[in-house]
Amino acid sequence: MAKTKIKKPRRPRAETPRGFRDYFGQDVLQRNAMLARVAEVYHAHGFDPLESSAVETVEALGKFLPDVDRPNEGVFAWQDEDETWMALRYDLTAPLARVYAQHRRDLPNPYRRYAMGPVWRNEKPGPGRYRQFYQCDADTVGAGSVAADAEMCAMLGSALEATGIAADDYVIRVNNRKVLNGVMEVAGVLNPEDPEADAHARGIVLRAVDKLDRLGVSGLRDLLGAGRRDESGDFTEGAGLSPDQIAVILGFTDARRENGTATCAALRDLVGVSKAGLEGVQELETIAELLTAQGPAERIIIDPSVVRGLGYYTGPVFEAELTFEILDEKGRRIQLGSVAGGGRYDDLVTRFTGEKVPATGVSIGVDRLLAGLRAKGRLADNTQGPVVVTVMDRDRTADYQAMAAELRAGGIRAEVFMGGGNMAKQLKYADQRVSPVAVIEGGNERERGVVQIKDLALGARLAANIETHDDWKAQPAQMEVVRSDLVAEVRAMLARAGG
């Protein structure tokens, strides 16, 4: 009788899930440093930090993402034991609405908060487009004046410059959803007496206009009409507008003129007698006046092509765009585009309370901004590793731990080598960690009350010119110092190396 062959269990694949990425030491350190600078700006403007759960109920998040054709309409969702649908947050704004509605009686009004952290979207991944990314937000809840929107634009500029983006390397484009609503009234896609009618078509128009910079006028025209098939063969449903209706929408996206005053005049003509449209134009004019009063406003542009993809915006919307080019993964020069955006969302809290609660906010796309800063060489080099205390005698590990503790107490980052192996392996490890200094104490050094310290950075530069063992011992990258002077001598060596 043949033996049954036992099938071995398949090992899991060691690979990052599609659309996600891993962040290693340098990436994390640079991100944290950048976020700290942004937080200083937010804090200086009177905003307080808030941390909320990464998981919300689907009901609380609402359906505002543009990816209506994706599973769960663009969110990662699952059903809990009590049959409640839960989801990973897709941004930091929708959770704020829930937090404010829940705790509003204990919070100041207006409530000004900033938040930082990862968000998740069930989007189709692509080059530079990930399903998990970081955002850095600031919001004011309870302020209905467009002065709060103007403050957001000004503060966004200050935050970008605080991270290292030069004043002439970005622009902030401002528009107003009310103006677009007025244009859709003129185009016959929005009836103020019946706002729910044609809501599906308006959603498609909104998402299509938001993709103008990526798809161009031809792609936008397709999405406003019958639909568009992309290079992969995927078909996106169109709004089904007539040629005359499409012409009205395209006229709106092309209404930018030589300055804000002329652009607003063109928009007034486009919205006709639409009450919402005229109100939106007036708000744009007021924002321009307020920003001019706060300082130079050359970097603020009234641009009708900015609509923002999220469905909860109700008034002014804005985007910050970097104006310089970077190299992509294939070495091609590309425009990085928008690195931040936001706007007014007066109905988001109302979903919970039934009361009108105005709100406005801004969100920085952390990964995109980091890419821009990296391309400009504006990120600090945090690659230097810790001082490594090597282990010559395993039975004296406590002594080596004491050395590392002394170095740390002296403000020096340090660790004891915990792997096995000879000195060559330990020094190789120190090189991999980009360690500036290695500390060595064998039995002989112990008896004489000394330690050896190696300037690894200098040693690497000198290694090419060292031919003999005597040359190595004589070169200044290695020193013998009195054990009691360890901290002072290592600090001096780090100072010489610029660390």
pLDDT tens digit sequence for 237-274: 999 999 999 999 999 989 999 888 899 999 999 998 99
427/73: higher pLDDT: 427
Domain locations in the chain as residue ranges: 25-375, 387-496
- Express as a percent the part of the chain with pLDDT over 90: 67
Write down the pLDDT at residue 44.
97
Across 398-417, average pLDDT: 97
pLDDT of 450 strictly over 60: yes
> If you average pLDDT over every residue of the chain, what do you get?
89
Identify which has the larger pLDDT, 457 or 176. Answer: 176
Q: What is the pLDDT of residue 299?
A: 83
Neighbours of 494 (CB within 10 A): 18
pLDDT higher than threshold 70 for residue 2: no
pLDDT at 472 over 50: no
Q: According to the CATH classification, is domain 387-496 in 3.90.1200.10? A: no
The two three-digit tokens of residue 110, written as one number: 């207006």
Q: Which has the higher per-residue pLDDT, 392 or 231?
A: 392
d(CA 163, CA 373): 8
Q: Is the pLDDT of residue 148 over 70?
A: yes
DSSP 415-453: EE--S-S-HHHHHHHHHHTT-SEEEE--HHHHHHTEEEE
Which is the CATH superfamily of the domain at 25-375?
Bira Bifunctional Protein; Domain 2 (3.30.930.10)
Are 92 and 137 within 8 A, CB to CB?
yes
- Which burial class, exposed, middle or buried, applies to 173 when counting CB atoms under 10 A from its CB (0-12, 13-18, 19+)? buried
In the predicted structure, residue 463 carries a pLDDT above the cut 60: no
Residue 369 has pLDDT above 90, yes or no: yes
The single-letter code of the amino acid at 42 is: Y
For residue 297, pLDDT over 70 is answered with: no
* Sign of the torsion formed by the C-alpha atoms of 271, 277, 283 and 288: negative
Mean pLDDT for 35-52 is 97
